[in-house]
């Protein structure tokens, strides 16, 4: 019987696998039916990765997936299994340290997640059972439970809104924890359940809900509720996002609500959005991997050379088996190949410290700790929103110093997204400031039109502005003195700043929107009379349609459809003879940089309305393809309208956005603007923010230049070839010059729109159009600036991907503030979100978030530059100091018969990277400023000096490698020549091999530490503490390990070695002399560099004739002189 009823209600809509059925309150529809609870997940939130039982195996598995960790594990196992010259402790302890530190960090982070999960899961909620409120823990909520939520409480799961304390069945919600939007959103209860606002009434409800299976889109929901009443046919109502209250959102300005749980626990939309973004890797990591391969080859070659020479040496029987060290029977019987392999592994173990395992931990710590400097930067704090910069991904800090292409949104990024109503036009007549003022068009605008529009048309237009929107009224707190006062006692709230600007614009002209009450919209007209309109349907805005409509009924019964939207979506749907007089006005406003919207209306007959109403209700009830079905109804309803007029709203440029773009250009970056706005508006904004200069020649690939005819592909081909010839074929090749400089004497800018871009990126199968993309890309790369207008979100991502995948893989950065920018933010190497007024989806999905576009200047030119220099120095220094460390060990084998005798004591081998040399480079990589931040921000061309991964190319890498090899040779042979005089003490005692190794190690530790001190330009107390403290700790440890401070250690081989070594004056002199000789090339280089810089500074005082971008230079000079007070 139930099945028959349902099939009658939802004819043609068979139940599909992609839906779920929820029984409200677990009450079976018919008393004769046996209720079988469906299995849904519980309401526990689990954001943690580990449990107490799987932490160790899971964490170890994840860590040993890293190549370096796995390599050292193999080395450690070789030391354990094979008789190697060094103790397994030498590689086991550093590996244990690295694994332990990482495990503790990850374990602590996971413990915090466990604690946060428990706070949510154990919180108390109220559930209605048997007409009573029952208090339970949040994790015990089941799908189908009726939950009561009070004001300022957070929704414990995703609920379908059934009833509230408000008579009209509405509630206000903030979703700051979901998408960052702090404005109130209005949600609506199911129409038939709004009266059920007590525990007894709501518990008596018998209903089932059919809805889609869980999916992560916060703004999408499709379902229907079927309500059963005794002796009546079931009633079916559609459910949409406006009926769904999301877990994590907070109830505001409403005493209480009742809702039924539809998604719980890890199936809630909030939990489904936990899934992180795809991992982005920086170019530095690729360089590290390349350098590792080189050093691995060095390691293998060293082991191969030593193994080969060992057997050459042992080919002499006396060397192979001297009289004092005869072989055992087991050694004689061993296969020679096996012995050679074992010896090879032993040499690998002896030299394995050339691969710096501790570098990975240091790099991780540098990135993690370094990211706090961005968050702490007071200059990037915005007083208006009381927030500063935010780092979501610390893995990409150095990538900020390597950006070549910047892709930026326009609205809310370059502009403030703070809309102000400027003017409007009604039937071609312009209205500005007040309704009585009439300002005719000038001659250049087209046909002159004086006078005013008819009064009825004026009122119709203003009523359209008051009715066609989704603005809500938020009442202010009532104060006795204000009641009856003419000043407004409420504020407008909306998800779009444009809508509020238009409603305020109508109010300026005498028509005031008073709010929505019981489906009736109230407005006050110019005569101070209140008008009531029944709101029948809202045809919501979406980026594809680019318009929205409302259908209302007047008190006289007349049915009206009002529509507002972009001119491109309105003009094709109105009478063609009405367009021209308004189009003139719209085009002029767009050229002035204003955002324009056109307003149209249509009077409906009852028959037409009934048809639309029926089709809309059918579409709303669909569980599959609901959006497509509704879009079809909207399309039919919004046909054959009449144009009334247009509006112009100003979106002011953000403070210092023009100066920021100029600085980015001067730093060698190319800036592309990707916007959904119309071409004229975007173009004027680009001129205002100096993306285009007055001397820039603009090349257009738009619907206007390509045309709409069938020959548009041929015309596009002609234009592409013409521009390609102008920019590439006719321009002489660049011979040297400045890196990243523009080679063209004439600057070019390109403008392209979405429809033309579709032709280029998705050409027809015709072979002639297959290479459009390559030609277009070559043109783009030669232009100094590119403007892409009328872009869909997906097209923005396509543009970024196209540039990202070009030859050389340039580093791309995308910056935007809205949900439509998320795709390009995720696509770019570095994504930056602006904490704007279009919600926080962009900042939530970004790698970094900043309050304003102007902060991009310091983020890239100062922070990015410094992070790159620091981490590049860190990587090169680690390889250098490990080569210095292991080369003497390799050379020592030539003097010990390739017997695999270690040069250094096991304690020194173990602690070299962990204790003696790790903290100075970490402090350097966090604090170093080789150029002051003020200088970096004021002189953008300094950014180009480190561009293209300049400090991690093969040339600097080879310099560091040769420096390490030179110093390693000095350490070893300097001490070797010292030992030519075998008696170094007055009493004739002879120093042994451990003293030899300790002198080499002492010179090594002091040299690599002082090398870092020479490289340090920005000294703080912390640098002094770690550099001199590390050297002092080495001396202290050597005394301790030698049994001087801790006499219980006197049984081991290093007993009193360090102390005896320092009793020799020759040793003191040798250490000081060898340190000086090792550092002499570096000191000489620094002196020469300082002389060169002084000469350069004196020459810069003379007029600078060199300019990387000729037409920018005067503007740059002006910009920096203007900003001298700010920086």
Q: Among all residues, which ones are annotated catalytic?
A: 409
Rounded to whole angstroms, the Cα distance separating 177 from 250 reads 9
Spatial strand order of the sheet with 132-137 comes to: 132-137, 124-129, 146-150, 256-263, 158-164, 244-245
Mark 538-558 as b/e (b = at least 16 C-beta within 10 Å): ebbbeeebbbbbbbbbeeeee
Contact residues for 582 (Cβ-Cβ < 8 A; gap 6+): 425, 427, 428, 598, 643, 645, 646
* H or E stretch at 475: strand 472-475
Output the six-digit token pair for 786: 């590119």
132: helix, strand or coil: strand
Mark 730-746 as b/e (b = at least 16 C-beta within 10 Å): eeeeeeeeeebbbebee
Q: Which residue spans within 144-189 are E strands per DSSP?
A: 146-150, 158-164, 170-175, 181-188
Partners of residue 671 on adjacent β-strands: 406, 785
Rounded to whole angstroms, the Cα distance separating 44 from 28 reads 26
Parallel, antiparallel, or unpaired: how do β-strands 181-188 and 434-438 relate?
unpaired
**Other Cβ atoms within 10 Å of 644 Cβ, number:** 28
Rounded to whole angstroms, the Cα distance separating 269 from 274 reads 9
Greatest Cα-to-Cα distance within the chain, rounded to the nearest angstrom: 123
Q: How far is CA 859 from CA 374, 638, 827, 846, in A?
A: 8, 47, 20, 14
* H or E stretch at 845: none
Class of residue 211 by CB neighbours under 10 A (exposed 0-12, middle 13-18, buried 19+): buried
Q: Which of 183, 201, 200 is nearest to 192 (CA)?
A: 201
Contact 814, 831 (CB under 8 A): yes
Rounded to whole angstroms, the Cα distance separating 615 from 835 reads 40
Q: What is the CA radius of gyration of the chain?
A: 37
Spatial strand order of the sheet with 530-539 comes to: 434-438, 429-432, 415-426, 642-653, 595-604, 559-565, 547-553, 530-539, 520-524, 512-517
Mark 945-955 as b/e (b = at least 16 C-beta within 10 Å): ebbbbbbbeee
SS3 track for 21-37: EEEHHHCCCCCCCCCCC
- For the CA atoms of 360, 362, 364, 370, the dihedral, rounded to the nearest 10 degrees, stands at -150
What is the residue-wise DSSP string for 662-728? HHHHHTT-EEEEE-SS-HHHHHHHHHHTTSS-TTPEEEEESHHHH-SSTTHHHHHHHHHHHHHIIII
Partners of residue 159 on adjacent β-strands: 245, 261
Residue with tokens 């590290």: 288
Residue with tokens 């324009």: 596
Parallel, antiparallel, or unpaired: how do β-strands 405-408 and 812-816 relate?
parallel
Q: Which of 951, 976, 965 is nearest to 882 (CA)?
A: 965
Residue with tokens 């300005």: 253
DSSP 326: P
Answer left, alpha or beta for residue 169, where phi above 0 means left and psi between -120 and 50 means alpha. left
Contact 842, 819 (CB under 8 A): yes
């Amino acid at each position: 019987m139930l099945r028959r009823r349902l099939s009658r209600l939802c004819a043609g809509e068979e139940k599909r696998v992609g839906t779920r059925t929820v029984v409200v309150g677990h009450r079976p529809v018919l008393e004769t039916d046996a209720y079988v609870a469906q299995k849904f997940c519980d309401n526990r939130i689990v954001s943690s990765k580990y449990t107490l039982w799987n932490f160790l195996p899971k964490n170890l598995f994840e860590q040993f997936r890293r190549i370096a960790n796995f390599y050292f594990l193999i080395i450690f196992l070789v030391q354990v299994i094979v008789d190697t010259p060094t103790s397994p402790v030498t590689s086991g302890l550093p590996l244990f340290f690295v694994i332990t530190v990482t495990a503790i960090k990850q374990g602590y982070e996971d413990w915090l997640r466990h604690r946060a999960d428990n706070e949510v899961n154990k919180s108390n909620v109220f559930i209605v059972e048997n007409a009573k409120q029952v208090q339970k823990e949040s994790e015990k909520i089941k799908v189908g439970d009726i939950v009561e939520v009070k004001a300022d409480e957070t929704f414990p799961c995703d609920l379908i809104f059934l009833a509230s304390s408000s008579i009209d069945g509405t509630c206000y919600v903030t979703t700051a924890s979901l998408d960052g939007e702090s404005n109130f959103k209005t949600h609506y209860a199911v129409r038939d359940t709004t009266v059920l606002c007590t525990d007894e009434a709501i518990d008596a409800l018998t209903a089932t809900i059919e809805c889609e299976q869980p999916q992560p889109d916060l703004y999408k929901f499709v379902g229907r509720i079927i309500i059963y009443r005794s002796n009546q046919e079931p009633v079916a109502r559609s459910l949409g996002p406006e009926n769904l209250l999301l877990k994590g959102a907070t109830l505001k300005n409403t005493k209480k609500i009742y809702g039924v749980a539809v998604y719980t626990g890890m199936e809630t939309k909030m939990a489904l959005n936990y899934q992180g973004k795809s991992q982005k890797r920086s170019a530095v990591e690729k360089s590290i991997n390349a350098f590792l391969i080189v050093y691995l080859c060095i390691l293998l070659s060293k082991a191969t050379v030593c193994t080969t020479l060992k057997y050459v040496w042992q080919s002499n029987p006396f060397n192979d088996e001297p009289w004092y060290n005869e072989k055992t029977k087991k050694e004689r019987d061993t296969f020679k190949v096996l012995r050679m392999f074992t010896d090879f592994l032993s040499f690998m173990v002896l030299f394995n410290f050339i691969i710096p395992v501790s570098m990975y931990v240091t790099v991780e710590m540098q990135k993690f700790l370094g990211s706090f400097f961005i968050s702490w930067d007071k200059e990037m704090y915005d007083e208006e929103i009381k927030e500063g910069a935010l780092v979501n991904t610390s893995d990409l800090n150095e990538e900020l110093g390597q950006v070549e292409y910047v892709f930026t949104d326009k609205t809310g990024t370059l502009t403030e997204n703070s809309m102000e109503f400027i003017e409007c036009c009604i039937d071609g007549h312009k209205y500005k400031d007040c309704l009585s003022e009439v300002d005719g068009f000038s001659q250049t605008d087209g046909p002159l039109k004086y006078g005013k529009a008819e009064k009825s048309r004026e009122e119709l237009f203003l009523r359209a502005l008051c009715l066609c929107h989704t603005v809500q009224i938020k009442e202010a707190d009532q104060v006795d003195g204000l009641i009856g006062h003419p000043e407004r006692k409420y504020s407008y709230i909306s998800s779009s700043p444009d809508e509020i600007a238009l409603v305020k614009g109508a109010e300026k002209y005498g028509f005031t929107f008073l709010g929505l009450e019981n489906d009736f919209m109230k407005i006050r007209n110019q005569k101070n009379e209140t008008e009531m309109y029944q709101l029948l349907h809202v045809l919501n805005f979406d980026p594809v349609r680019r318009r929205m409509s409302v259908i209302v009924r007047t008190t006289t019964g007349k049915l009206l459809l009002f529509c507002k939207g972009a001119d491109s979506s309105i003009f094709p749907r109105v009478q063609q003879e009405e367009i021209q007089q308004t189009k003139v006005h719209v085009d002029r406003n767009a050229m002035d940089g204003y955002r324009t919207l056109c307003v149209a209306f249509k009077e409906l007959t009852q028959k037409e309305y009934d048809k639309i109403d029926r089709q809309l209700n059918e579409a709303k009830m669909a569980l599959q393809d609901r959006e497509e079905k509704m879009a079809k109804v909207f399309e039919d309803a919004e046909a054959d309208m009449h144009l009334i007029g247009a509006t112009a709203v100003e979106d002011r440029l953000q403070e210092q956005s023009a100066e920021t773009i100029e600085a980015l250009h001067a730093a060698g970056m190319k800036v592309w603007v990707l916007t959904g706005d119309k071409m004229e508006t975007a173009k004027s904004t680009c001129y205002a923010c100096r993306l285009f200069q007055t001397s820039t020649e603009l090349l257009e690939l738009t619907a206007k230049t390509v045309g709409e005819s069938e020959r548009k592909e041929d015309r596009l081909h002609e234009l592409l070839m013409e521009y390609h010839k102008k920019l590439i074929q006719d321009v002489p090749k660049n011979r040297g010059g400045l890196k990243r400089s523009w080679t063209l004497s004439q600057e070019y800018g390109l403008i392209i729109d979405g429809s033309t871009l579709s032709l280029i990126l998705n050409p027809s199968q015709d072979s002639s159009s297959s290479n459009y993309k390559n030609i277009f890309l070559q043109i783009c790369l030669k232009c100094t600036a590119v403007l892409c207008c009328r872009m869909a979100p997906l097209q923005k991502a396509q543009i970024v991907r196209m540039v990202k995948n070009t030859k050389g893989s340039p580093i791309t950065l995308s910056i935007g503030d809205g949900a439509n920018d998320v795709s390009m933010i995720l696509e770019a190497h570095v994504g930056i979100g602006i904490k704007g007024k279009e919600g926080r989806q962009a900042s939530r999905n970004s790698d970094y978030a900043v309050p304003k576009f102007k902060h991009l200047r310091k983020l890239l030119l100062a922070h990015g530059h410094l992070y790159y220099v620091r981490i590049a120095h860190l990587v090169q220094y680690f390889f250098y100091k490990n080569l210095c460390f292991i080369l003497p060990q390799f050379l020592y084998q030539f003097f010990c018969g390739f017997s695999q005798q270690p040069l250094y004591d096991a304690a020194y081998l173990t602690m070299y990277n962990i204790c003696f040399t790790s903290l100075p480079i970490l402090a350097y990589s966090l604090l170093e400023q080789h150029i002051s931040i003020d200088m970096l921000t004021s002189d953008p061309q300094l950014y180009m000096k480190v561009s293209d991964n300049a400090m991690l190319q093969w040339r600097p890498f080879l310099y560091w490698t040769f420096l390490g090899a030179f110093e390693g040779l000095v350490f070893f042979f300097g001490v070797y020549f010292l030992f030519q005089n075998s008696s170094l003490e007055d009493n004739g005692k002879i120093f042994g091999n451990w003293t030899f190794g300790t002198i080499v190690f002492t010179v090594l530790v002091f040299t690599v530490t002082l090398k870092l001190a020479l490289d340090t330009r920005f000294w703080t107390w912390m640098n002094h503490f770690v550099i001199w403290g590390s050297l002092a700790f080495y001396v202290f440890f050597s005394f301790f390990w030698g049994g001087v401070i801790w006499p219980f250690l006197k049984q081991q081989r290093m007993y009193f070695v360090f102390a005896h070594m320092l009793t020799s004056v020759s040793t003191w002199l040798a250490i000081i002399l060898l340190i000086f000789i090792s550092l002499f090339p570096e000191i000489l280089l620094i002196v020469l560099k300082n002389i060169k810089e002084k000469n350069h500074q004196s020459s810069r005082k003379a007029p600078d004739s060199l300019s990387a971008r000729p037409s920018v230079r005067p503007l740059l000079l002006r910009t920096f002189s203007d900003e001298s007070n700010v920086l």
